Chain A
């Protein structure tokens, strides 16, 4: 690290659980971030600011006026711009030292798997079950840690799936039963709720990458922001899980 980097990251380096070693791990790390909406916005900004060396941003959508109430990485003058490009502009302004790659289409199949193989960690900040199941299966296949968050209305959920044998995966939590999903378009979402959940995802990602502390592995953290109540629920691997199950 040069002097400028030491200064830029000084407030993090001084944390005993991060230190120079932890900061170097972040600089050497590569994160695949899927979704540049309400959750992805704070995740991207915090990971870029914290000095994650390479961020690969994935989103097929363009910035829309109705996004700006909560997707704080985008701006009014970038309405119509691909979200990944809009995000890259904001992140480059925030931290020009890091490498940012943009994928402006939906990642599927082999391409998804290839991108996951290049990454040390995946952050799922998307907004639908189909993509979440695909990301989970590919992360499990590649033993890549997955930080998963979701938010809607005034509630949210977040967990970490480390991709290790014996630990639960996203599919242990949610059945793939074609259930109807609530969307923010139809149900609304309070602006800072995605910020709360996204900030926790960024925190968990940094801890996974640096080895600091303990993560939300084996727990589902759920938020009821209307009453500002949190619950932490134990989550065990389902032996019959079609993705990670053993029997």
Chain B
């Protein structure tokens, strides 16, 4: 299983702090994003292709082409630029 965490306004929008996902068939973080998008509704909006989300794999910042495997922890959170 892969543990997926949602942080800050993503958590608020999705009304979900975390979920678990079968690792089978998930090549990389992009595939994790795709599977979240396929849940439809607000998930499709939040993880739409034109939305920028930031991501970390096992507490390290990374991008969509990073491979994932069973036991990984993935975190998604929004970009912030305000001040």
A-B contacts at CB below 8 angstroms, number: 89
B82 touches A183 (CB 8 A): yes
A79 to B64, CA, bound (A): 45
Q: Does A153 contact B (CB under 8 A)?
A: yes
Give the shortest distance, in Å, between B61 (CB) and chain A (any CB). Answer: 5
Given A155-B9, A234-B60, A236-B60, check contact A222 B77 (CB 8 Å): yes
Interface residue count on the B side (C-beta < 8 Å): 19
Q: How far does the alpha carbon of A117 sit from the alpha carbon of B24 in the complex, in Å?
A: 52
Contact A231 B61 (CB under 8 A): no
Main secondary structure of the interface of B (DSSP, over half): loop
Q: Which residues of B are found within 8 Å of A38, using beta-carbon distances?
A: 82-83
B8 touches A40 (CB 8 A): no
A226 to B17, CA, bound (A): 12
Which residues of chain A are within 8 angstroms of B82 by Cβ–Cβ distance? 38, 127, 150-152, 181-184, 187, 189
Look across to chain B and name the residue whose beta carbon is closest to the beta carbon of A220. B61
Which residues of chain A from 9 to 55 have a CB within 8 Å of any chain B CB?
A: 35, 37-40
One of A86-94, A103-111, A137-145, A172-180 at the interface: A172-180
The B7-65 residues at the A interface (CB cut-off 8 A) are 7-9, 11-12, 17, 52, 56, 59-61
Cα A151 to Cα B9 with chains together (Å): 12
CA of A129 to CA of B56 in the docked complex: distance in angstroms?
21
Question: Do residues B9 and A174 form an inter-chain contact, with CB atoms below 8 A?
Answer: no
Most buried by A among B12, B79, B81: B81
Q: Is the pair A127, B81 in contact by a Cβ cutoff of 8 Å?
A: yes
A1 within 8 A of partner (CB): no
B9 touches A233 (CB 8 A): no
Cα–Cα distance between A177 and B52 once the two chains are bound (Å): 9
- Identify B80's interface contact among A151, A177, A231, A235, CB under 8 A: A151
- Give B5's nearest chain A residue, CB to CB: A231
B68 contacts the other chain (CB 8 A): no
Q: Are A154 and B52 in contact (CB under 8 A)?
A: no
A174-227 interface with B by 8 A CB criterion? 174-175, 177, 179, 181-184, 187, 189, 194, 220, 222-224, 226-227
**New A-B pairs, 4, CB < 8 Å, besides A154-B8, A235-B61:** A37-B83, A220-B61, A224-B11, A227-B11
Q: Hey, which bits of chain B sit against chain A, CB under 8 A? A: 7-9, 11-12, 17, 52, 56, 59-61, 75, 77-83
Can you report 22 residue pairs joining A to B where beta carbons are below 8 Å apart?
A35-B83, A150-B80, A151-B82, A154-B8, A174-B79, A175-B52, A179-B52, A181-B81, A182-B78, A184-B83, A187-B82, A220-B61, A222-B7, A224-B11, A229-B7, A231-B77, A232-B59, A233-B60, A234-B60, A234-B61, A236-B60, A236-B61
